Amino acid sequence: MTDLAQDVARAHRAKALLSDDLLNGAFDTLRAEYLKAWEATKYNDTDSRERLWQAIQIVGKVRSQLHAYVNDGTLAQVELNQINYGLRDRPAA
């Protein structure tokens, strides 16, 4: 499987995950729990606050990475279509 085909396959898997209610619910629950715990920490407990804030950010980064896979796969599909239909690397007329 070519790199482009792998990107397209990964995009399909990522799109399925992003539309999965269970996974989205898990992301939302984790973020809410981390945020609640972060808000409950004392301001002088900087270690705990920092770790919880990082956890909140990581949940968002996982979602962002899945979206990046979808975008990369969309671009890869366009490139594959161009290759398959001879639109790429054709000399200018």
CA distance 57 to 91: 47
53 burial via Cβ count (<10 Å: 0-12, 13-18, 19+): middle
Q: Mind listing the pLDDT tens digit of every residue in the chain (93 residues)?
A: 679 999 999 999 999 999 999 999 999 999 999 999 999 999 899 999 999 999 999 999 999 999 999 999 999 999 999 999 887 656 655
* pTM score: 0.82
Residues 6+ apart with CB under 8 A from 31: 56, 59, 60
Q: Report the interhelical angle of 21-40 vs 46-84 (nearest 10°).
A: 150
What ranges do the domains of the chain cover?
Answer: 3-84
